[in-house]
Amino acid sequence: MADNSFTRRELLRAAALAGVLLPGGALAACASPGGGSGGPAPAATGATSAANPLGIAETSPFEVVIFDGGFGDAYAREVHEPLFAAEHPKATIKHTATKEIAKTLQPRFAGGNPPEFVNNSGDNAMDFGALAQDGQLQDLGALLDAPSWDDPAVKVRDTILPSAVELGTYDGTYCVLNYASTVWGIWYSTKLFGDNGWEPPETWDEFTALCEKIKKSGTCAPFTYAGKHPFYIYETILTLAAKIGGVAVLKNIDNLAEGAWKAEPVATAATAFADVGAKYLLRGTEGLDHIQTQTAHDKYQVAMLPCGSWLENEQKDTTPPGFGYAMFPLPSFSSADALPYGTLHSRPGEEFFVSARSANPRAGMEYMRAMLSKEGAGRFSEMVSTLTVVKGAAEGRTLKPGLRSAAARLKQAGENTTYFRFRQWYKELHDEAAAATGQLMAGRLPVAAWADRIQRKSDEIRNDSSVKKYTRS
Amino acid sequence: MADRTKRSFLGNRAALTRARFIAGFLAAPVLLYLVYVISPYAQAFSIAMTDWRGVSAHPGFVGLANFERLLGDGVFWTAVRHNGLLLVLMPIGTLVIALFFAFLLNAGGATAASGVFGARFYRVVFFFPQGLAVAIVAVLFQQVFRPDGSGMLNAPLIALGLEPVGFLSDPGVALWSILGVLVWQAVGFYVVLFSAGMASIPRELYEAAEIDGAGRGRLFFRVTLPLLWDTVQVGWIYLGIAALDVFAIVWVMTAEHGGPDHATTVMAAEIYRNAFQYFKFGYASAMGVVLFFFTVAFAAVALRLSRRERVEF
């Protein structure tokens, strides 16, 4: 553009064309990818010692970003950060809390200036698949092999649930810390059940008989779920399917196996819940969200609802005194079930990661080591009423009744826990399963058509080369 | 002679100063426009041809693959259909209701040249929804449409022993509920707009028409509407573009953000979902490019169709 005889119109036209034709061109530099400056700066390190096994640079600052959602951010400010600071007084921690993780952080990742430690959670979390694919996740192998905070003779790996390591592994690399241990089940009020002489059912027949009894009694509706978020009910359907047919049922679904959604146990479970949907739901269930149904539960308008163990914390402001949250595992479908009574859907959740391309990733890992200490985990459990993946950390802590019940059920279940992972791996499959299940429960979609629809989506994703695939064994 | 040279020289200098003055004022807006309007559009076109997932600094170039995939995306075409339906019904619904109310406010009184009793008050009331943030409107109507006894519309039905209507949960009803909210929210503005337009129509025309024996209906179609045509045309284009851009109401109000079961989804919601939930920014940009062309095409067609002779008065 050395020629100065450009007219204004030509100049404008040329500028607009440059933006259209040259991806990453001059105009595209402000919001588009391409803003980063070469490679990341060399990461800060220090000498390793017994007090500093990960070798962090003691004086280098680092940033902790917490998702300010159901758990708030006080647990980081009041528990984990002071714990870290007590051990490494010279390091400065910058604390950031946000309700919009992706909106806050995404430009920083694309620009090559990410924070060290991220609680990637909530509706607006960044996609782990995308982060992993782009090499943004720090390999946490060194953390697993480091001595634990409480006992130098025990490795961090041995203080946490093995499923936490499995679920945090992407492409063979452990890079995401799943910190909270969620337990799923059917929740009820010990007061309501006690007053009416109802017993938690152990078999499907007992469950439907109880529903019938509650319906006839006119005390309240038997069952509800967060109708606007049908995830809550496909979760129970899949857990029941796993109980009937074994863990392989869920593995096939996660691995996008052909016909996984059309398997017999899945159909049986879906039929069973569609039946509950037709007969025993709280009126208007399909149009209510999780808070509305949970509030109806708190008001004794409905007897049972499926949810995860965060329920008690989420409802703490509306739960009447003496309500007595408790949960029971999904009833056994028949004596031929593959998994015994007491089997639970339980999986580590609430994800944290360290950015590989941040200035001080070692400090982020050391911060995780502090979180995984008995004190860090135990006080977290007390504060937000949720178990963690740290074995035995909640023992000796004052727990609320619902969490106590969940912890007891989890202990009873022992090895018999199940989970599925496609929700995190393939969000589009999750959305399709949720949409179809909402229709199934409302009686607008027969079981076979329900399975067909979700299977079609699963097949579509399997055959889509642009989607990164994961497998579990 | 010398005088003239001097004058023209002065004239030239004045023109130059004026040109510099204007250019100085224009430079800033043009620059802002380039950076914040043109360049994002241009970027959308270039991102649409990549597989960018939002975090990488160097996305891969995939050509037109995103557009090819779009052709087979059933949900996107469902969204396009919904936008199409809204494009037809939302402007018609809003304009008809707004014209009716505006006519009542301006010519519905005892004589044709006066409005109904309390017209000024109603004008404020009609405008009220316009003062509410869209998100508040959405949350409000969630409560209005609640499916149980706490729902404003369903509570009386339940009290009468009737089955409640699943305003937002029945896939056959949900889009109509959304349409209702969109029209409710838009009507007020157009009532005020049309009222202003009608107020500038000379009273004598009404009086003359009335003396000639024209009824209210004829008055409306023969006098008011033709004289208001320019305003209606602007309103129609505005509403059309608004219908193509519907997002917040759908996203906040409906189950699964466009559900149940994609029954209320629109293009903007699918763009948002693919970008910020599936992190397929390339694919979402391709949808954005398609939406851009739909909007431009609509504006062109609308201007062409509604072109007609201006009535002078």
Query: Is position B158 within any domain?
Result: yes
Which residues does A11 contact at the CB level (< 8 Å), separation at least 6? Answer: none
Which residues does A251 contact at the CB level (< 8 Å), separation at least 6? Answer: A472, A473
Instruction: Give the CATH number of the domain where residue B296 resides.
Output: 1.10.3720.10
Q: Are residues B43 and B83 in the same domain?
A: no
Q: Which of B45, B53, B259 sits opposite A20 (nearest CB)?
A: B45
Q: What is the reported pLDDT for A7?
A: 47
Q: Are residues B214 and B298 in the same domain?
A: yes
A284 and B154 within 8 Å at the Cβ level: the answer is yes
Q: Which amino acid belongs to residue A323?
A: F
Q: Are residues A313 and A194 in the same domain?
A: yes
B57 and A15 within 8 Å at the Cβ level: the answer is no
Over the stretch A320-334, which tens digit does the pLDDT of each residue have? 999 999 999 999 998
Q: Are residues B136 and B250 in the same domain?
A: yes
B chain contacts of residue A126, beta-carbon cutoff 8 Å = 54-55, 279
Ordered alpha helix ranges (H), A319-473: 361-371, 374-384, 401-413, 422-425, 427-441, 447-462
B chain contacts of residue A225, beta-carbon cutoff 8 Å = none
Q: What is the reported pLDDT for B160?
A: 86
In A, minimum Cα distance to B73 occurs at A460
Number of domains in chain B: 2
Q: Which of B43, B273, B276 sits opposite A32 (nearest CB)?
A: B43
Which residues does A192 contact at the CB level (< 8 Å), separation at least 6? Answer: A198, A219, A220, A300, A303, A323
**DSSP H/E element including A418:** strand A417-418
Over the stretch A344-364, which tens digit does the pLDDT of each residue have? 999 888 899 999 999 999 999
Q: Are residues B171 and B251 in the same domain?
A: yes
**Which sign, positive or negative, has the C-alpha torsion B146, B151, B152, B153?**
positive
Residue A24 — left, alpha, or beta (φ > 0 → left; ψ -120 to 50 → alpha)? left
In B, minimum Cα distance to A101 occurs at B276
Q: Are residues A70 and A143 in the same domain?
A: yes
What CA–CA distance (Å, rounded) separates B137 from B142?
Answer: 9
Interface size A-B, in CB pairs within 8 Å, comes to 149
A283 and B40 within 8 Å at the Cβ level: the answer is no
**Bridge-based pairing state of the strands A62-67 and A93-98:** parallel
- The SS3 assignment for A432 reads helix
Share of chain B above pLDDT 70, in %: 91
Contact assessment for residue A70 and residue A123, using Cβ atoms and an 8 Å cutoff? no
B260 and A286 within 8 Å at the Cβ level: the answer is yes
Q: Are residues A176 and A272 in the same domain?
A: no
Contact assessment for residue B44 and residue B292, using Cβ atoms and an 8 Å cutoff? yes
A442 and B169 within 8 Å at the Cβ level: the answer is yes
Q: Which of A19, A33, A439 sits opposite B38 (nearest CB)?
A: A19
- Determine the distance in angstroms separating the CA of B17 from the nearest CA of chain A, rounded to an integer: 18
Query: Is position B249 within any domain?
Result: yes
What are the beta bridge partners of residue B72?
none
In A, minimum Cα distance to B62 occurs at A466
DSSP letters for A224-274: ---TTSTHHHHHHHHHHHHHHH-THHHHHHHTT-TTGGGSHHHHHHHHHHH
Let me know if B131 is exposed, middle or buried by CB neighbors in 10 A (0-12, 13-18, 19+): exposed
A435 and B256 within 8 Å at the Cβ level: the answer is yes
Using the CB atoms, write b or e for A147-178: b if 16+ within 10 Å.
ebbeeeeeebbebbbebbbbbbbbeeebbbbb
List the 240-259 stretch of B: residues with Cβ below 8 A of A: 255-256, 259
* Residue-level length of chain A: 473
B168 and A27 within 8 Å at the Cβ level: the answer is no
Q: How confident is the model at residue B311 (pLDDT cuts 50, 70, 90)?
A: low
Q: What is the reported pLDDT for B312?
A: 56
Query: Is position B58 within any domain?
Result: no
Query: Is position B43 within any domain?
Result: yes
- Determine the distance in angstroms separating the CA of B268 from the nearest CA of chain A, rounded to an integer: 17
* Residue-level length of chain B: 313
Say if B47 is an interface residue toward chain A (CB within 8 Å): yes
A chain contacts of residue B270, beta-carbon cutoff 8 Å = none
Over the stretch B212-232, which tens digit does the pLDDT of each residue have? 877 777 878 877 888 888 888
- The SS3 assignment for A349 reads strand
Q: Are residues A313 and A449 in the same domain?
A: yes
Q: Are residues B5 and B91 in the same domain?
A: no
Q: Are residues A334 and A372 in the same domain?
A: no
Query: Is position B275 within any domain?
Result: yes
Q: What is the reported pLDDT for A267?
A: 94
Residue A392 — left, alpha, or beta (φ > 0 → left; ψ -120 to 50 → alpha)? left
Q: Are residues A164 and A247 in the same domain?
A: no
Q: Whole-angstrom distance between the N-terminal and C-terminal Cα of chain A?
A: 59
Q: Are residues A284 and A190 in the same domain?
A: yes
Query: Is position B312 within any domain?
Result: no
Q: Are residues B16 and B148 in the same domain?
A: no
CA distances in angstroms from A307 to A187, A225, A410, listed in the order given:
7, 8, 15
Question: Which of A466, A467, A468 is the best mutation test for B, with the most CBs of B within 10 A?
Answer: A466
Instruction: Give the CATH number of the domain where residue A112 resides.
Output: 3.40.190.10
Q: Which amino acid belongs to residue B26?
A: L
Contact assessment for residue B147 and residue B166, using Cβ atoms and an 8 Å cutoff? yes
Query: Is position A49 within any domain?
Result: no
Q: Which of A33, A284, A427 sits opposite B56 (nearest CB)?
A: A33
Q: Which of B52, B65, B169 sits opposite A227 (nearest CB)?
A: B169
Q: Which of A15, A136, A434 sits opposite B34 (nearest CB)?
A: A15
**DSSP H/E element including B119:** helix B119-127
Report the complex ipTM: 0.77
Q: Which of B47, B151, B279 sits opposite A130 (nearest CB)?
A: B279
Contact assessment for residue A468 and residue A426, using Cβ atoms and an 8 Å cutoff? no
Average pLDDT over residues B159-173: 85
**DSSP H/E element including B25:** helix B2-33
What CA–CA distance (Å, rounded) separates A339 from A418?
Answer: 10
Query: Is position A148 within any domain?
Result: yes
Q: Are residues B117 and B252 in the same domain?
A: yes
Instruction: Look at the block and give the residue holding tokens 């634990």.
Output: A148
Query: Is position A400 within any domain?
Result: yes
Q: Are residues A229 and A310 in the same domain?
A: yes
B chain contacts of residue A118, beta-carbon cutoff 8 Å = none
Question: Which of B273, B279, B285, B292 is the best mutation test for A, with the most CBs of A within 10 A?
Answer: B279
Contact assessment for residue B223 and residue B206, using Cβ atoms and an 8 Å cutoff? yes
Query: Is position A17 within any domain?
Result: no
Q: Are residues B269 and B187 in the same domain?
A: yes
Query: Is position A156 within any domain?
Result: yes
Q: Which amino acid belongs to residue A337?
A: D
What CA–CA distance (Å, rounded) separates B64 from B267?
Answer: 19
**Which sign, positive or negative, has the C-alpha torsion A131, A260, A448, A460?**
positive
List the 127-156 stretch of B: residues with Cβ below 8 A of A: 145-148, 151, 154
Q: What is the reported pLDDT for B6?
A: 57
B61 and A36 within 8 Å at the Cβ level: the answer is no
Q: What is the reported pLDDT for A82?
A: 94
Q: What is the reported pLDDT for B7?
A: 59
B148 and A134 within 8 Å at the Cβ level: the answer is no
Say if B67 is an interface residue toward chain A (CB within 8 Å): no
What number of H helices and E strands is found in chain B? 14, 0
- Determine the distance in angstroms separating the CA of A151 from the nearest CA of chain B, rounded to an integer: 38
Q: Whole-angstrom distance between the N-terminal and C-terminal Cα of chain B?
A: 49
Q: Are residues A360 and A336 in the same domain?
A: no
Q: Cα Rg for chain B, rounded, in angstroms?
A: 26
Domain limits for position B34? 1-49
B46 and A35 within 8 Å at the Cβ level: the answer is no
Say if B110 is an interface residue toward chain A (CB within 8 Å): no
Number of domains in chain A: 2
Q: What is the reported pLDDT for A309?
A: 86
A126 and B54 within 8 Å at the Cβ level: the answer is yes
pLDDT at B254 over 70: yes
Contact assessment for residue A338 and residue A246, using Cβ atoms and an 8 Å cutoff? yes
Q: Which amino acid belongs to residue B205?
A: L
Q: Are residues B12 and B82 in the same domain?
A: no
Q: Are residues A303 and A223 in the same domain?
A: yes
Q: Are residues A304 and A446 in the same domain?
A: yes
Query: Is position B54 within any domain?
Result: no
Q: Using 50 as the pLDDT threshold, list the residues of chain A that sit under it.
A: 1-40
Q: Are residues B157 and B294 in the same domain?
A: yes
Q: What is the reported pLDDT for B78?
A: 92
Query: Is position A66 within any domain?
Result: yes
B57 and A131 within 8 Å at the Cβ level: the answer is no
- Determine the distance in angstroms separating the CA of B251 from the nearest CA of chain A, rounded to an integer: 13
Q: Are residues A193 and A280 in the same domain?
A: yes
Q: Taking Cα atoms as reference points, which of A102, A31, A96, A34 lies closest to residue A68?
A: A96
Q: Are residues B71 and B194 in the same domain?
A: yes
Average pLDDT over residues B25-47: 87
Query: Is position A9 within any domain?
Result: no
Share of chain A above pLDDT 90, in %: 52
Q: Which of A12, A127, A431 sits opposite B53 (nearest CB)?
A: A127
Query: Is position A21 within any domain?
Result: no
Q: Are residues B8 and B80 in the same domain?
A: no
Query: Is position B144 within any domain?
Result: yes
Q: What is the reported pLDDT for B109?
A: 67
Domain limits for position A351? 62-181+347-405
